[in-house]
Amino acid sequence: MMNRVLPPRPKVLLATDNPQLLLAMATLLADCGAHIDTASSPEQAEQVALAEHYDLVLTTFVWSLLAPHSLCGRLRSAGSDTEVFALLGPQQSEQAEVELTLGLLRSGATQVLSLPIRGSRLHQKVRHSLTARRERVMFSLAQKLTY
């Protein structure tokens, strides 16, 4: 009988200083089968994300992502393929939102989602990201086993 090597449960880091949003996101994502960790400051998010491997980081700390040595930049320079979803609060103008979104994507964010966001939409985006990631890992493992 062949032993199957399955990737571990996906790990998600929720990074926000808003306790109500944190609770809502954690509750919403509980059924994704992921291990969920939290960070309540940009510094803590960066420290935790660089110390451990995460499949996904969800953060409301968008301004810190734009810094020259941001979380996204440091993850990418470390060779990490962690996906980063930036949750963007309401902006003063559509132009400001577009400029901030482009800056976040240039900094390495995988997706920029505008708040408020329907729970079902956030759930769908996270589930899709984690499922696609798991499929890539499984495909990679299958390729290694055949060579």
Domain 11-146 has CATH 3.40.1190.20: no
Backbone angles phi, psi at 114, to 5 degrees: -85, 135
Domain boundaries of the chain, sorted by first residue: 11-146
- The token duo for 136 is 């890539």
User: In this predicted model, what pLDDT tens digit does every residue of 25-79 receive, in sequence order?
Assistant: 888 777 777 888 999 888 898 899 889 889 999 988 877 776 656 788 888 888 8
Backbone angles phi, psi at 44, to 5 degrees: -65, -40
User: In this predicted model, what pLDDT tens digit does every residue of 68-82 receive, in sequence order?
Assistant: 567 888 888 888 888
DSSP SS3 for 79: coil
**pTM of the prediction?**
0.79
